[in-house]
Structure 1
């Protein structure tokens, strides 16, 4: 019984340690001027921070093997779900900073769209 508890403890410690390695944050990321964001097989948005002009439609493409979403964290309720191989788009008309995450993987997948005039 002790052996099972010991193995379970090791598995838990490894899982917690590895989970922290995948956590993506937008803090400190250099904005990239693009209207396309990839969701590669690594539970992240690439690039994590983008900049676009007002009126631009941003497209996220899911090239992962899992379903992901793009959920704006501005209280607007905007959330788009993309199955593997699908793309979703959101048009940003107003200047500002729009943080977003994947509602299925909010701890690992976070990003930001910076909209300029």
Structure 2
């Protein structure tokens, strides 16, 4: 069992070294924390939680923003996590690598009103959140 954990950890570390993030298909975004609108929403990514900096909600973290505004997820400690939209259609936004370093960020600009659910691909339903865009 430990050997499998080590192999998974090594693979995640290799992916992390690749860097970058995908642009969302419908929501817009830059994936790197720079450029675009200044983030209004801010979500902290912890050991096994997403927490809204706006209202303190956690798993699910819920943030409400206006169309055209951004949300930034910031990792608060070392630990492997991702941010990916869930629901229909899938993958409106998703960072392309496993983020593992403290202070790593991922930013998405939401251009269209709607409710966008997300989770961590590694922890699934243990780490969830929702962005409501008005």
Unaligned stretches of 5+ in structure 1?
A: 1-33
The aligned counterpart of 1:37 is 43
Residue 44 of structure 1 and its aligned partner are, at CA, apart by 0.7
Q: Which structure: greater helix fraction? A: 1
RMSD across aligned positions (CA): 1.4
Residue 89 of structure 1 and its aligned partner are, at CA, apart by 0.7
Bigger Cα Rg: 1
Q: Using CA pairs below 8 Å that are at least 6 residues apart, which structure has the higher relative contact order?
A: 2
Alignment of 1:70-81 (within 5 A): 70-73=83-86, 74-77=88-91, 78-80=93-95, 81=98
Q: Would you say how many aligned residue pairs link Structure 1 and Structure 2?
A: 82
After TM superposition, the score normalised by the length of structure 2 is: 0.57
Q: Which runs of 4+ in 1 moved over 3 A?
A: none
